[in-house]
Structure 1
Amino acid sequence: MPTLTAPAPTVDAAALIADIEAYLADQAPRTAHPLVTKTTAELVAEALRGPDAEPEAAPALAAPSRLWRILPDWALAITPARRLHGAGRDITVTQHLELTALVIQQYGHHRGALRSRGGARCILGAQAVLYRLGYGDENTAKAAGQQLQNILRRRGIDEPYHRWNDHSERTLDDVLHLIRNAIKETQ
């Protein structure tokens, strides 16, 4: 009997980075006065550019989404959108877990490898995307993985979370439920 598969999501790195940046901006510290819509850092940067400065150029676009899905993950480290936002942006473990869920929702869920040919990701693959894009560091990813592992242990599951992800019966909902439980534990 033929199996039905969902179409692969069409996501490119620039769109994913835009979603990540929107999420992080939503959590950023607000300005001192409610009528001021820019953060202090944005106001300082604007002041340093001067009143006659040209507006900032629009960011370069990443490779087209179809091409982007088949490129290897190491190529995420060289995307123009990543260079625009800078490498090594610090995020918390909670943010890492929330962004891991975002990546899986946008790219799709995969079992058996870090990624599918169509670009779907497992939990570990989604964490690798964040790391390659410069969101958090190795320690952040390890701490997030430990949170996932703690939830599984409380359920009586001793295998590593990346192997748990790879079971044939594992669904997108199962994975997102695990991640969301881990998020609750970090708050």
Structure 2
Amino acid sequence: MAASTATRPVDLPVDAASLIADIERYLAEQAPRTAHPLVTKTTAELIAEALAAPAAVDEQHAPTLAAPRRLWRIIPDWALALTPARRLHGAGRAITVTQHLELTALVIQQYGWHRGGLRSRSGRRCILGAQAVLFRLGYGDENTALAAGRAMQSILRRRGIDDAYHRWNDKPERTLDDVLHLIREAANNERGQA
């Protein structure tokens, strides 16, 4: 039976805002409790409060309509750099290689998995395409993405596979489970080395 590249129902909406919310929730869970005895809230709780506080809005330049949810999946990746998360974190929010790998798996689960290119016309992403989404949204930098790629490549080498991980992703026999297993194995390996 041939493996299908359709891993997500077409009518299930995904947008950058929900992906960003999931990423922020994941990163907040990773944040340690603060060490100062007078502060009783976790870093995650403080971040949540800050994000919940109403921001000053320039009414004259505020957008009046949100982009359609499906549009966020199909717009070019360079446009993701225009999202609020990228503007909030500037050039990029520092994340670890382990976090990058775990978030790569999250992007693939949210957008759907693809082989044969960075992305499909409907917005599904391959491993490298998912890494590009994170980079464009401002999570991590090029060095983080390259280190994550080396971590996945190391796992493949241990399995006796010489293909680059992005070419391995594109093999006809590859499945979503194979891809997620590789990413999570690399994340666990990185976690063990930290």
TM-score (norm 1): 0.83
Alignment deviations for residues 105-134 of structure 1 (CA, whole Å, 9 cap, x no partner): 111110001011111100000000000011
- Structure 1 residues 18 and 34: CA distance shift in structure 2, 3 A: farther
Whole-Å separation in 2 of the counterparts to 1:110 and 1:70:
13
The aligned counterpart of 1:7 is: 9
Alignment deviations for residues 68-120 of structure 1 (CA, whole Å, 9 cap, x no partner): 22210100001134323444100000000000000001111100010111111
Of 21, 24, 44, 1:21 maps to 24
- Structure 1 residues 113 and 62: CA distance shift in structure 2, 3 A: farther
Aligned to 1:159, the other structure's residue is in SS state coil
Q: Which amino acid aligns with 1:56?
A: P
- Give 1:37 deviation, angstroms: 2.3
Q: Which amino acid aligns with 1:93?
A: V
- Give 1:58 deviation, angstroms: 8.7
Aligned to 2:185, the other structure's residue is in SS state helix
Whole-Å separation in 2 of the counterparts to 1:36 and 1:63:
38
Runs of at least 5 residues in structure 1 that lack an aligned partner in the other structure? 47-54
Q: Which amino acid aligns with 1:29?
A: P
Runs of at least 5 residues in structure 2 that lack an aligned partner in the other structure? 58-62
TM-score (norm 2): 0.81
Of all paired residues, the percent bearing the same amino acid is 72
CA RMSD of aligned residues (A): 2.9
- Structure 1 residues 173 and 56: CA distance shift in structure 2, 3 A: same
The aligned counterpart of 2:177 is: 173
Task: Give the count of matched residue pairs.
Answer: 176
| Dislocated runs of 4+, deviation >6 Å | 58-61
